[in-house]
A and B are shown apart, each in its own frame.
Chain A
């Protein structure tokens, strides 16, 4: 109880300090001499954000870029960290896994999300069906990791299974498997978890886009006798192409940075590591900040083109509307 009070006090004190700082800024802004007031206003309102961003994000990002070219003692070592990344077998597996994630997750999540959005469109109980599939988006990836570790749980063939997937295997006469230990299958079983989470995101956006297709076009196609498949291929897909691109690129970016799932399910062991996880391991566990920084830099360079493309499509879409 004492502990609880102490924590509560810390939060209250922090918020009070923050309120005092903001209050002081507001006071200065309103009381500044008239000639200087406009300048004081701009500085006062922008300074907190500017200071935090420069000190906490821009300057660190520059430092990380430099750090990528140093060894564990901080001496410059040229491109050695990158040579390590692209030659060391374990590092290569990390890269290969990242590529697998980044191809499969956006493809499967968008595909399943699209099909599901079409299937439930105007169906009875659409809201409930949506909520069920969207729910995984709300919980943490750590929570999702626990949920799926339990689905993949393994017991020896002589015991009763407690994991659903192994039980299904046994029902069909198979042998129980160590899904998360045996490479390379384990990576695919973790990719499934990410797909499980992201389908909800894809479905919600695509469903909104489908509802935006003008009724007249759909009616005209129906009167012309177009089959469900023809309607899907010739009307639905072209009409929602913009939304589809946004969904795929957004999921690609999220997947490139995936960390929690791998950390929770295997901690990157058994050949399952990905760049974001390896970055953490090298920088904060293996005492190799140079390698960690190099991995962060590569991650940045991989995300960059996708984000730029995504932003451009979003802008185009806004202009159309």
Chain B
């Protein structure tokens, strides 16, 4: 098949008359092909534009003065050319009782997401290591069972888990008080485990057995092997899953609504934003800026770590 001449793909912008050297298909077909590929590219650009305009409109609006946002649509910005950062100042730092105080909630999101990513990752890696390299009875059955736990939707666990957290007390001392991050960290960790164990197992099982065997011969215990060999070798898998879990927790609304109590001390920015759309749905200068404050972290991750991001997302399509 290597002798088949390959027709180079015709770039949409190629000038008519420029004949690609080598292959010479009949003129009519070549023209037709060029037309269809040009038509396809134009159609693709139209779809991409339609897909981008809603976000662009919100971004532009977030920089327009309040009166302008309420007076006319964001497309008028090209006429009035007035831009300001006031909306961002208002939603982030202004301390008045009317302010959405998003700065506080942004900090909450960070405080929730960091432990809620690290904790399940370590616990899942430990379990995955045992499932891949440990020797004990019932190993395969248990692993299949944990894999199967992915079919349980979040919703099946919410009600009993909340009452469990409430009732978990020693004497009068509540172990995991509502209105603290602890409930969110633990809930997110639990829901992350089945998928994390499964994915990390697939990766850790591929590590060459000789590496581990050599360490054993040198007298290393499981703990040493795990921290000195398994974890460093698994960094690509850990990174992909960490990014996925980070975004999942950052963008979550349901777990936050159930477990955070909704106070400025704990609630994440998504919950605050959802609340604002309900109670002050007409204050577009705040909603537009607020939405972008909540989106900035995922967008940075997306544009900065796109390759890992895609990999993590594809792996995690079934979570929740």
Contacts and interface: CB of A to CB of B under 8 A. Distances in A.
Interface of A: 3-4, 7-8, 10-11, 14-15, 18, 22, 26-27, 29-30, 37-39, 41-42, 45-46, 48-50, 52-53, 55-61, 63-65, 67, 112, 116, 118-120, 122-124, 129, 131-143, 145-151, 153, 160-164, 167, 196, 199, 201, 204-205, 215-216, 219-220, 222-223, 225, 228, 250, 253-254, 257, 259-260, 263-265, 267, 276, 279-280, 283-284, 289, 292-293, 295-297, 299-300, 303-304, 307-308, 310
16 contacts: A10-B111, A18-B122, A22-B126, A45-B130, A45-B134, A45-B226, A52-B190, A60-B161, A129-B45, A133-B47, A147-B58, A149-B281, A150-B58, A160-B71, A161-B73, A204-B310
B36 A29 contact: no
Nearest to A153: B284
B182 A143 contact: no
B29 interface: yes
B182 A292 contact: no
Given A29-B223, A141-B253, A162 B69 contact: yes
Interface range for B: 35 or more
Contact of B11 (A63, A124, A151): A124
A38 B310 CA distance: 38
Contact of A139 (B70, B146, B185, B251): B251
Contacts of A223: 4
Interface string B129-160: 11000111000000000100111111111111
B111 A11 contact: yes
B261 to A, nearest CB: 12
A98 B254 CA distance: 18
B41 A146 contact: no
Interface stretch (B78-86, B205-213, B233-241, B298-306): B298-306
A60 B223 CA distance: 32
Given A151-B54, A160-B73, A60 B156 contact: yes
Contact of B152 (A276, A289, A300): A300
A52 B107 contact: no
Contacts of A196: 51, 54
Contacts of B313: 137, 201
Nearest to A7: B111
A138 B294 contact: no
B31 interface: no
Contacts of A199: 51
Contacts of A205: 314
Contacts of B37: 123
A53 B149 contact: yes
Contact of A304 (B151, B158, B258): B151
B190 A116 contact: no
